[in-house]
Amino acid sequence: MSKKEQPVIVGLDIGTTKVVAIAGRKNEFGKVEILGVGRADSAGVSHGVVMNIEQCIRSIEQAIERCLLSNSNLEIKEVYVGIAGQHIKSLQTRGDRVRTNVESEISKEDIDLLVRDQYRTYIPAGDQIIDIIPQDFTVDSTAYVVDPIGMSGVKIGANFHIITGDRNAIRNIKRCVDKSRLVTRDLVLQPLASAAAVMNDEDLEAGVAIVDIGGGTTDMAVFYDGILKHTAVIPYAGVNITNDIRNGLGVLRAQAEQMKVQFGTALAEEANGNAFITIPGLRGLPHKEISVKNLAHIIQARMQEILDYVVYHLKQIDLDKRLYGGIILTGGGAQLKHVTQLTEFVTGLGARIGYPNEHLAGGDKEAMMNPMYSTCIGLILRGYDDFENGKMRFAGEGGNYMHIPTDGLKEEVVEEEVVETPEPEMTDDEAMEERLEANKQRARKRNENVKRLFDGLRGKFMKMFEDVEDHEIE
């Protein structure tokens, strides 16, 4: 597939401390090329849950605007959004389906029908299903089938991992994206997105636990025998460490964050006992001397609590001793010094930092060599998984795209220049407003066309069901 036919997919990570938007597209070698990156401080989000709609919208708009400014040829209209938070839950269920046409081989449509049946699974009132992930299949009496497509059989079944979340929390995230003049393609659990970015096939086979230490929550996904076995959200992360430093040492929040990033270590034994940090006094008060050793003790105590939760969840599924791939730490909290050594000490498993460069093109690996970008890169990969498996169509739908100035597109390039190039006397803000207004007009026209198309399809669909009901009555 040529580069022009590959869709541009944008991942949007709405976190407690930051909002990141990354646009990417696969090249001819199947690697993701980064087209644009935007990052903004997050406001209005606490522990993965939107607490202030307007502040969250502003943070999203700033991240998207900076992503557009990093590449003037980029248009962003649709995004894949990561979701986390204490409201996220998971459950295991079993589903079976008897096939009507037993003479034909099992197809992708049979699998899709089986997955669709699971949306009828009982979940607590107020919750909503976010994702349904097949674990292993059964065809008649043959169990533990990884991929049943192409096989013959009468009855097909599977074990499923169902991820749910609070309906109102999900609506608030979607509302923030909608009011930012974007369309949510899909909501993806953040640890699954991070796992896609930092894992390879060997990790999947050996068995690993992905521990994404974010700003508000620590997200966890466990894989064993190539199957997703468990997901969990731990309600402690980087913000809690910062608050511990602030309260324990009596400093401002910004000072606590800076000390954590610049001098913090997750292992107190490795801290220099003779080193001190000088904090300026407030309003004429004397300077404060803070021991680096004391800072490390505070950080280690909270990190050890997070890792104790990790061990607890691994014991719940009896995998605390059987993950030969160990633990992969990612997210912004994984940048703490000596965090891998503490993880190995607490869990008894090997540990390493997961960087989101497994699937990136060569030129982008250095720029993205930061675990905080794992979720966004994983969201792009999830979008391509949907595209390549036919779950969602992208090409020709008027979604995200790049303006490519070529000889064959002279007229189109001239038209885009009229819309996007500001007049010499215009300020940057006026040019940005004009471009956003033009984007809104194009999006409005596209939405009208899509609405007419869906209205026509809905009419045909309803007529088909009416014909079936009339036949049953006769």
Residue 410's H or E segment, with its range, is helix 410-420
CA distance 282 to 268: 28
The DSSP code sequence of 81-139 is EEE-STT-EEEEEEEEEE-S-TTSPP-HHHHHHHHHHGGGS---TTEEEEEEEEEEEEE
pLDDT value of position 299? 96
CA distance 79 to 38: 13
Strand partners, 352: 328
Cα gap 412→416, rounded to integer Å: 6
Q: Rounded to an integer, what distance in angstroms lies between the CA atom of residue 138 and that of residue 290?
A: 61
Same domain, 349 and 413: no
Q: d(Cα 278, Cα 261) in Å, to the nearest integer?
A: 15
CATH no. for residue 332?
A: 3.30.420.40
Do 154 and 258 belong to one domain? no
Could you tell me if 429 and 339 lie in one domain? no
Contacts of 226 (CB under 8 A, 6+ apart): 146, 204, 205
The residue among 165, 197, 214 that closes a domain is: 165
Closest CA to 78 of 468, 348, 442: 442
Q: Are 236 and 312 in the same domain?
A: yes
> Which strand (E) or helix (H) includes residue 157?
strand 155-166
pLDDT for residue 335: 93
Angle (nearest 5°) at CA 183 between 331 and 432: 90
The last residue of one of the domains, among 307, 332, 353, is 353
**190 Cβ neighbours under 8 A, 6+ residues apart:** 13, 48, 82, 83, 84, 212, 214, 219, 375
Outline where DSSP puts E strands in 369-417. 401-402
For 350-378, b/e burial (b = at least 16 CB within 10 A) is: ebbebbbbbbbbeebeeebeebbbbbbbb
Q: Is residue 322 part of a domain?
A: yes
Domain assignment present for 67? no
Do 346 and 238 share a domain, yes or no?
Answer: yes
Q: Judge if 241 and 343 occupy the same domain.
A: yes
Short-list 38, 26, 90, 101, CA closest to 65: 38
Residues 339 and 264 in one domain: yes
The pLDDT assigned to 473 comes to 43
- Which CATH number covers residue 145? 3.30.1490.110
Q: What do you get for the CA distance between the two ends of the chain, in Å?
A: 51
Domain span including residue 451:
407-473
Q: How many domains does the chain have?
A: 3
Q: Over the chain (474 residues), what is each successive 10-residue block's mean pLDDT?
A: 72 94 91 94 91 96 95 92 92 92 90 92 92 92 90 94 95 95 93 93 92 94 92 94 94 93 93 90 84 95 97 95 95 94 96 91 83 94 87 56 54 40 48 59 62 56 47 45
In a domain, 275, yes or no: yes
Structure tokens at 438: 């033009």
Strand partners, 212: 219, 330
CA distance 324 to 326: 5
Identify the domain boundary among 289, 320, 353. Answer: 353
Same domain, 153 and 243: no
CB-CB contact of 82 with 12 (8 Å): yes
In a domain, 27, yes or no: no
Question: In this structure, is residue 246 part of a structural domain?
Answer: yes
Q: Do 329 and 247 share a domain, yes or no?
A: yes
Query: Do 338 and 268 sit in the same domain of this protein?
Result: yes
Distance between CA atoms of residues 139 and 156, nearest Å = 5
Q: Is residue 153 packed enough to be buried (19+ CB in 10 Å), middle (13-18) or exposed (0-12)?
A: buried
Q: What is the Cα–Cα distance from 267 to 42, expressed in whole angstroms?
A: 29
In a domain, 25, yes or no: no
Across 15-103, the runs of DSSP E, i.e. the strands, are 18-26, 32-41, 45-46, 49-50, 74-75, 78-83, 89-98
CA distance 88 to 220: 11
- How far apart CA 391 and CA 384 sit, in angstroms, is 10
d(CA 221, CA 49): 19
CB distance 110 to 156 below 8 Å: yes
Q: Is residue 18 part of a domain?
A: no
User: Is 262 in the same domain as 345?
Assistant: yes
Regarding whether 319 and 252 lie in a shared domain, the answer is yes
Q: Quick check: is 425 in a domain?
A: yes
